[in-house]
């Protein structure tokens, strides 16, 4: 009577094999689907951590909505949005890795962060290469805030770091709203969808990574060699068949990754990303600081061959990329925009024929002076040093952004002057411009000079503020420095 028993055992084995094959087929289908499609992962891989599931939800809602709104606007905005999507995919892979591996050694952190670093750099480079785009404010909003993805290297307060990046985006999205809120509501919807991503990311961090990225308490220790395959294409399964992508040109973060091998600070790696187009200069500056007064112990830790190699490589590569590039000076009217760019030691620049619908955009000018005659719509000074501007009238806003040592003289009228991320700005107002509103943020050494008795009297713009609760609301007033 053993025959029925054998048949039952055989039937049981067949059923178990069928279930195993089914699971393998499901896992295989997941490993070959696009890495941004996380809809079925949670149903297939029951080992996905709740923090990763929550991030998938953010991807499938907020990021997907942003992609949808960007496709409606098309062009450069759509292309940029696809890059943002790719950056979030890289972050998702990193979070999955962190949920399965224990916290790595400091010398492996930079290498593990490299895929996200490259995506951030790609997004910021795209903006720089498309300064003539009609959607430049859209591109700037994304470019200035995308370093928020660096929260994974920030502790103990990654949430406020994302909030700071969100504020950087708002500076540019406000321009988009100003330009389109009465003419094309598609751009208004786009702004809402983009800012919602960072608001949702802050909520996600608060719930799952309040004081910094949460690593697994079990499993192997993460390392560049052990987890490289998990960070590349798929949702973090064992090493997939396709090889890693070809190296191509060396990324801007590659040398930075090597220099971080000795650094005990993860936060410094991404803190430098909040520098917009000056990212390469920022990288060199921060690492030099890390090697000296910030971390004096580094000399004792790395006294053999790696440190000289790092210094030599870091010193050799950046000069081959950005600093030697000489841009041809630009002084032209492009449509309705006056472009004044890359002017050096020019003190005779004059725009004499202006129209009410024209704007002036002044970019990376050094030790130069520009005079604008007549009435113009708006003026923007961006990334300039030791630059002087004299203009008659502006019917819109005059903005100074990311600049240093700026002097400005208003001969007629201007309603608003905005100063953002600027060190040193002196503004001479005319009698007709005394009702001008001056808005400043993240800036220092600002002075307004008011005409009095045939001369000018200087008034500093407050940089420090005191906030107190009056029983019903917060009241903020300039803080008087005692001394």
Task: Answer whether residue 33 shows pLDDT above 50.
Answer: no
What's residue 106's pLDDT? 78
* pLDDT tier at 15, thresholds 50, 70, 90: low
What mean pLDDT comes out for the span 128-151?
Answer: 92
Distance (Å, whole) CA 29 – CA 133 = 40
What mean pLDDT comes out for the span 78-101?
Answer: 93
Distance (Å, whole) CA 419 – CA 398 = 9
* Structure token digits, residue 345: 């030691």
Task: Find the range with the poorest average confidence among 19-23, 203-207, 329-333, 459-463.
Answer: 19-23
C-alpha radius of gyration, the chain, whole number? 27
Residue bearing the bigger pLDDT, 336 or 47 = 336
Task: Answer whether residue 456 shows pLDDT above 60.
Answer: yes
Distance (Å, whole) CA 38 – CA 118 = 22
Distance (Å, whole) CA 23 – CA 343 = 64
Task: Answer whether residue 406 shows pLDDT above 80.
Answer: yes
Which residues make beta-bridge pairs with 411? none
* pLDDT tier at 255, thresholds 50, 70, 90: very low
What's residue 335's pLDDT? 87
Work out the mean pLDDT of the chain and round it to a whole number.
Answer: 77
* pLDDT tier at 206, thresholds 50, 70, 90: very high
* Structure token digits, residue 153: 């290297």
* pLDDT tier at 224, thresholds 50, 70, 90: low
Residue bearing the bigger pLDDT, 436 or 480 = 436
What's residue 344's pLDDT? 93
Task: Answer whether residue 181 shows pLDDT above 70.
Answer: yes
What's residue 6's pLDDT? 61
Task: Find the range with the poorest average confidence among 10-14, 245-249, 348-352, 447-451.
Answer: 245-249
Task: Answer whether residue 464 shows pLDDT above 80.
Answer: yes
Judge if the upstream peptide bond of residue 269 is cis by omega within 30 degrees of 0.
Answer: no
Q: Which among 5-9, 28-32, 92-96, 218-222 has the top mean pLDDT? A: 92-96
* Structure token digits, residue 393: 């009238």
Distance (Å, whole) CA 371 – CA 174 = 28
* Structure token digits, residue 282: 């920022």
pLDDT per position as a tens digit, 306-317: 444 433 333 334
* pLDDT tier at 31, thresholds 50, 70, 90: very low
Distance (Å, whole) CA 366 – CA 413 = 26
Residue bearing the bigger pLDDT, 362 or 268 = 362
Task: Answer whether residue 252 shows pLDDT above 50.
Answer: no
* pLDDT tier at 481, thresholds 50, 70, 90: low
What mean pLDDT comes out for the span 344-354?
Answer: 91
What mean pLDDT comes out for the span 101-109?
Answer: 84
Closest CA to 150 of 97, 108, 201: 201
SS3 of the chain: the string is CHHHHHHHHHHHHHHHHHHHHHHHHHHHHHHHCCCCCCCCHHHHCCCCCHHHHHHHHHHHHHHHHHHHHHHHHCHHHHHHHHHHHHHHHHHHHHHHHHHHCECCCHHHHHHHHHHHHHHHHHHHHHHHCCCCCCCHHHHHHHHHHHHHHHHHHCCCCHHHHHHHHHHHHHHHHHHHHHHHCCCCHHHHHHHHHHHHHHHHHHHHHHHHCCCCCCCCCCCCECCHHHHHHHHCCCCCCCCCCCCCCCCCCCCCCHHHHHHHHHCCCCHHHHHCCCCHHHHHHHHHHHHHHHHCCCCCCHHHHCCCCHHHHHHHHHHHHHHHHCCCCCCCCEEEEECCEEEEECCECCCCEEECCCCCCCEEEEECCEEEEEEEEEEECEEEEECCEEEEEEEEEECCEEEEECCEEEEEEECCCCCEEEEECCEEEEEECCHHHCCCEEEEECCEEEEEEEEECCEEEEEECCCCEEEEECCCCEEEEECCCCC
Distance (Å, whole) CA 330 – CA 335 = 14
Instruction: Kindly state the percentage of the chain with pLDDT values over 70.
Output: 68
Q: Which among 68-72, 282-286, 294-298 has the top mean pLDDT? A: 68-72
What's residue 51's pLDDT? 92
Distance (Å, whole) CA 354 – CA 337 = 10
Task: Answer whether residue 288 shows pLDDT above 70.
Answer: no
What's residue 453's pLDDT? 85
* Structure token digits, residue 143: 């470019």
Query: Beta strands 444-452 and 455-460: pairing type?
Result: antiparallel
What's residue 72's pLDDT? 95
Distance (Å, whole) CA 263 – CA 271 = 14
What's residue 312's pLDDT? 39
Task: Find the range with the poorest average confidence among 44-53, 210-219, 285-294.
Answer: 285-294
Task: Answer whether residue 24 shows pLDDT above 60.
Answer: no
Quick one: 414 exposed, middle or buried, by C-beta within 10 A (0-12, 13-18, 19+)?
buried
pLDDT per position as a tens digit, 265-282: 444 444 444 444 444 444
* pLDDT tier at 223, thresholds 50, 70, 90: confident
């Amino acid at each position: 009577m053993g025959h029925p028993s054998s048949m039952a055992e055989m039937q049981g084995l067949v059923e178990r094999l069928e279930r195993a094959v089914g699971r393998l087929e499901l896992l295989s289908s997941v490993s070959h689907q696009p890495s941004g499609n996380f809809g079925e992962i949670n149903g297939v891989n029951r080992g996905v951590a709740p923090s990763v599931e929550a991030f998938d939800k953010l991807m499938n809602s907020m990021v997907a909505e942003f992609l949808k709104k960007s496709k409606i606007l098309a062009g450069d905005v759509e292309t940029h949005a696809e890059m943002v999507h790719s950056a979030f995919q890289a972050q998702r892979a990193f979070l999955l890795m962190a949920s399965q591996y224990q916290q790595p050694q400091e010398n492996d952190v930079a290498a593990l962060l490299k895929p996200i670093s490259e995506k951030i750099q790609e997004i910021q480079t795209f903006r720089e290469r498309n300064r003539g785009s009609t959607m430049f404010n859209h591109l700037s909003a994304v470019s200035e805030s995308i370093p928020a993805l660096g929260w994974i290297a920030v502790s103990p307060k990654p949430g406020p770091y994302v909030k700071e990046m969100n504020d950087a985006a708002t500076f540019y999205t406000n321009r988009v709203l100003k330009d389109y809120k009465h003419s094309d509501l598609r751009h208004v919807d786009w702004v809402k969808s983009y800012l919602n991503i960072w608001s949702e990311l802050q909520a996600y961090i608060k719930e799952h990574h309040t004081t910094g990225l949460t690593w697994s308490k079990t499993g192997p220790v993460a390392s560049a060699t052990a987890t490289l395959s998990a960070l590349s294409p798929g949702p973090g399964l064992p090493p997939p068949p396709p090889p890693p992508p070809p190296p191509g040109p060396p990324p801007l973060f590659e040398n930075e990754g090597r220099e971080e091998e000795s650094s005990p600070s993860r936060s410094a790696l991404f803190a430098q990303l909040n520098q917009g187009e000056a990212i390469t200069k920022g990288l060199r500056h921060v690492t030099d600081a890390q090697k000296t007064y910030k971390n004096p112990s580094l000399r004792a830790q790395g006294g053999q061959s790696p440190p000289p190699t790092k210094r030599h490589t870091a010193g050799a590569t950046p000069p081959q990329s950005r600093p030697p590039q000489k841009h041809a000076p630009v002084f032209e009217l492009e449509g309705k925009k006056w472009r004044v760019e890359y002017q050096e030691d020019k003190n005779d620049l004059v725009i004499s024929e202006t129209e009410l619908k024209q704007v002036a955009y002044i970019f990376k000018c050094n030790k130069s002076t520009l005079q604008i005659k007549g009435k113009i719509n708006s003026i923007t000074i961006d990334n300039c040093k030791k630059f002087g501007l004299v203009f008659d009238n502006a019917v819109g806003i005059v903005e100074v952004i990311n600049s240093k040592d700026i002097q400005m003289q208003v001969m007629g009228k201007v309603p608003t002057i905005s100063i953002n991320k600027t060190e040193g700005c002196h503004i001479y107002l005319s009698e007709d411009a005394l009702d001008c509103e001056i808005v400043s943020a993240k800036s220092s050494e600002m002075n307004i000079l008011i005409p009095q008795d045939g001369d000018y009297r200087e008034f500093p713009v407050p940089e420090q503020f005191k906030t107190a609760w009056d029983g019903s609301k917060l009241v903020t007033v300039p803080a008087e420095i005692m001394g």
